[in-house]
Amino acid sequence: MSKPCPHCPSTAPLHTVRFKSPLWLWQAETGTAWHFVTVPEDLSNEIRFFSSAGNTKKRVGFGSVKVHAQIGDSAWDTSVFPSKQFKGYLLPVKASVRKQNHLAAGNSASVSLHFHQP
């Protein structure tokens, strides 16, 4: 069983994945930019398995999966999104998290993703 996350609700997560990945910038044609980290392929397979193993409420639009994310001292509720192009899930990293953890595109981030009972 996973250890409780100090930022999560009172229940311990059902599953946690941890990884280190570089932050990268995606620029939309409209000029909007988003920062992401890519979940490694092997851990993306775990997420895919976990999200389809009777936890249909975890999956939302576009095959995304609800998670509680943590980078450094920042923690937030969000979703990871599947990407065929990147062969894994993508985690959007909002500006407040990047600022608090002094991250910019190209920097490596240590990430924890916690999955809870739906």
Query: Is 62 inside a domain boundary?
Result: yes
Half-sphere exposure of 113 (CA within 13 A, CB side): 27
| Residue 54: per-residue pLDDT | 47
Number of structural domains the chain divides into: 1
Q: For residue range 38-66, list pLDDT tens digits in order.
A: 999 999 988 887 776 545 555 556 778 88
pTM above 0.75, yes or no: yes
The predicted model gives 94-108 an average pLDDT of: 96
- Range(s) of the domain holding residue 81: 15-115
The answer to the question of residue 2 being in a domain is no
DSSP-derived pairing of the beta strands 88-92 and 15-27: unpaired
Please give the helix or strand (H or E) that residue 108 lies within, else none.
Answer: strand 108-115
* 7 belongs to a structural domain: no
- Judge whether 108 and 50 are in contact, CB under 8 Å: no
State the residue for tokens 């595109």.
105
pLDDT tens digits, one per residue of 82-100: 999 988 999 999 999 999 9
Centre a 10 Å sphere on the Cβ of residue 29 and count the other Cβ atoms it contains.
Answer: 5
